[in-house]
């Protein structure tokens, strides 16, 4: 099993990159099983994949805290595991799990511990696991999602966003995440910005894995609510992501 995580602040094209990475895996690893995990509280990976999702992990865990929610004859642990299994969206090509945004008050330590164990068991059934994270890496830093092999930090072509990517790298170092590989991808490139941004990129301490040009087809697909995994092979963004992922032997 190979687990790849994507991180970056909102609006930089992180979810687009994740969707195109899934497209790459599904196209080039047709006989492999894939689990996509949307661990960003602002969950929208399902839209990029053309899927509707009714339940998230967070909403289901919230249900378990309600008085009388657990059926007679079931332990709390059994009920939570049952609800977690319900949250898995299965398709012919891959499966999707949406974490969602925790709401309400109270301690999530016990449910999160069960969630960690559930994910550890679940991922063993797949060859590839992709995780779309928020910039703060909450699920990674709290070890809810662990054993990540590759972390790709996504930034758009602005100095502010590059500095945000540097802060993600600081979080990784501070919490002691054990990664085989970490690198930077810069998206929405329209010209020679990378040359001007190189000093900021150097400050992050991240290796530049590649760039993704601003692709009008991506905007068109978003407007028309079309799945990004259905972008054509000759799309600028698709070709760029293919080149990046081939460069890291994905």
Categorize the per-residue pLDDT at 109 as very low, low, confident or very high, splitting at 50, 70 and 90: low
Residue 113 has pLDDT above 80, yes or no: no
Question: Parallel, antiparallel, or unpaired for β 95-98 and 89-90?
Answer: antiparallel
pLDDT attached to residue 213: 97
**Nearest residue to 13 via CA among 188, 221, 150:** 188
Categorize the per-residue pLDDT at 104 as very low, low, confident or very high, splitting at 50, 70 and 90: low
pLDDT attached to residue 83: 83
Q: What is the CA radius of gyration of the chain?
A: 18
Contact 223, 47 (CB under 8 A): no
Q: Mean pLDDT over all residues of the chain?
A: 90
Supply the pTM of this predicted model. Answer: 0.91
Lookup result for tokens 């992922």: 245
Tell me the average pLDDT across 212-218.
97
Lookup result for tokens 């891959």: 94
Q: What are phi and psi of 187, to 5 degrees?
A: -110, 175
Q: Which two tokens stand for residue 133?
A: 């994270």
Give 123-145 pLDDT, tens digit per residue. Answer: 899 999 999 998 888 888 888 88
Contact 100, 58 (CB under 8 A): yes
Give 59-102 pLDDT, tens digit per residue. Answer: 887 877 788 888 888 988 888 888 888 889 999 999 999 988 76
């Amino acid at each position: 099993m190979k687990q790849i995580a994507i991180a970056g602040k909102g609006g930089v094209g992180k979810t687009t990159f994740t969707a195109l990475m899934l497209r790459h895996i599904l196209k080039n690893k047709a006989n492999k099983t894939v689990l996509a995990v949307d661990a960003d509280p602002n969950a929208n990976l399902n839209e990029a994949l053309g899927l509707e999702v009714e339940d998230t992990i967070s909403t289901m865990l919230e249900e378990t805290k309600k008085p009388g929610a657990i059926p007679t004859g079931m332990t709390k642990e059994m009920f939570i595991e049952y609800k977690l299994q319900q949250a898995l969206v299965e398709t012919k090509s891959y499966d999707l799990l949406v974490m969602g945004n925790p709401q309400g008050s109270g301690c999530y330590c016990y449910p999160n511990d069960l969630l960690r164990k559930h994910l550890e068991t679940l991922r063993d059934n797949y060859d590839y696991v992709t995780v779309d994270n928020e910039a703060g890496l909450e699920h990674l830093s709290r070890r809810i999602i662990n054993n990540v092999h590759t972390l790709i930090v996504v930034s758009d072509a602005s100095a502010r966003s590059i500095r945000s990517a540097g802060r993600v790298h600081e979080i990784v170092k501070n919490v002691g995440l054990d990664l085989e590989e970490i690198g930077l991808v810069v998206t929405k490139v329209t010209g020679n910005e990378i040359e001007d941004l190189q000093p900021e990129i150097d400050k992050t301490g991240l290796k530049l894995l590649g760039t993704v040009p601003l692709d009008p087809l991506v905007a068109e697909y978003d407007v028309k609510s079309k799945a990004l995994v259905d972008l054509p092979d000759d799309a600028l963004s698709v070709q760029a992501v293919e080149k990046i992922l081939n460069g890291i032997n994905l």
